[in-house]
Amino acid sequence: MRRPITASDRRAPGGVKLAAALFGLYGVSAFLNAVVVLRSGGWGSPRGSVPVLIQVIGAGIVAWGLLRGRRWAWWLGLVVGVFWLAAGALTTLVVQRDDLYWLPPSGFQLVLAASLVCLGAAVALLLTPGVRAVFRRPAV
C-alpha cells in the first residue's frame, strides 16, 4: 500500500501524473473547441466563454492539486470530471422523436470527442486502486 504524497516528496506516482496530464489536456482541448471550432461555426458568444473558462481553470486547478497530492483535488477531479463527462455526452446525443441517436464525430466534433476521451481516461485513472491509495488518509 502506498503512502500519501507529502511535501517532502519530489515526484508523484505515474498514475497521478498521467491523470493530471489528462486533465490538463482536457482543459486545452476544451479551450480549442471553444476558440477554434465554435467560433468558426459562428456559435461563439462572449457569454458562452464563461463556462469554457471555468472548465479550463477548473481542469488546471485539479491537475495542479493532483500533482501536489492534495486530497481535495482527487475529490474535485472526480466530481467535476463526471459532471463534465455527462454534459459532454449530452451534447453528442440527440433525442429526436423519442429515439436516441449518437452523433458520429465529424471534423468539427473531433476535438470534443478527444476531450471526452481524455476526461474519461482521467476519471478512470482516479478510480484505480493505485491512485486512490495515494489520496487516502493515513491510518492513525
Per-residue pLDDT reduced to its tens digit, 92-115: 666 545 566 565 656 666 777 788
**Higher-confidence residue: 27 or 97?**
27
Residue 4 lies in a domain: no
| Residue 26: inside a domain | yes
Assigned domain for 9 exists = no
Q: Is residue 139 part of a domain?
A: no
**Domain membership of residue 73 as a residue range:** 14-134
Judge whether 1 lies within some domain: no
> pLDDT tens-digit profile of 58-84?
999 999 999 998 999 999 999 999 999
With cut-offs at 50, 70 and 90, classify the pLDDT of residue 90.
Answer: confident
**Residue 86, Cβ neighbours under 10 Å: how many?**
9
- What is the rounded distance in angstroms from the CA atom of residue 115 to the CA atom of residue 91? 13
Report the domain count for the chain. 1
Please say if the pLDDT value at position 39 is more than 70.
no
pLDDT band at residue 8 under the 50/70/90 scheme:
very low
Which pTM does this prediction carry? 0.77
Higher pLDDT, 103 or 135: 135
Residue 5 lies in a domain: no
pLDDT for residue 2 is more than 90: no
